Copies of this chain bind each other. A is one copy, B any other.
Amino acid sequence: MRPRFVLFGDSITQQSFQSGGWGAALTDRYARKADVVLRGYSGYNTRWALYLLAKIFPQGSQEAPAVVTIFFGANDAAPLDGKHAMQHVPLPEYKENLSKIISHIKFLSKETLVVLITPPPVCEEALQVTGWKIFGLKPDDASVRKNETTGSYAKACIDVAKQADVPVIDLWTCMQEKPGWQRSYLSDGLHLSEDGNAVVFTKLIEILNENGFSFEAMKWDFPEHSNVNSQNPAETAW
Q: Is the CB of A225 within 8 A of B43?
A: yes
- What is the bound-complex CA distance between A233 and B49, given in angstroms? 10
Number of interface residues of A (CB under 8 A): 43
Tell me if B14 and A32 are in contact (CB < 8 A). Answer: yes
Q: Is the CB–CB distance between B20 and A19 below 8 Å? A: yes
Expressed in whole angstroms, the minimum distance between the Cβ of A144 and any Cβ of chain B is: 14
Give the residue of B17, B75, B238 whose beta carbon is less than 8 angstroms from that of A31: B17
A80 part of interface (Cβ distance < 8 Å) = no
Chain B residues near A55: list those with CB within 8 A. 1, 222, 238
Q: How far is the CA of A86 from the CA of B226 in the complex (A)?
A: 9
Residues of A within 8 A of B (CB): 1, 14-15, 17-21, 23-25, 27-28, 31-32, 35, 37-38, 40-44, 47-48, 51-52, 55-56, 62, 75, 86-87, 222, 224-226, 228, 230, 233-234, 236, 238
- 13 residue pairs of the A-B complex, CB under 8 angstroms, read A14-B31, A14-B32, A17-B17, A24-B24, A31-B40, A41-B222, A42-B225, A43-B226, A43-B228, A51-B236, A55-B222, A62-B62, A86-B230
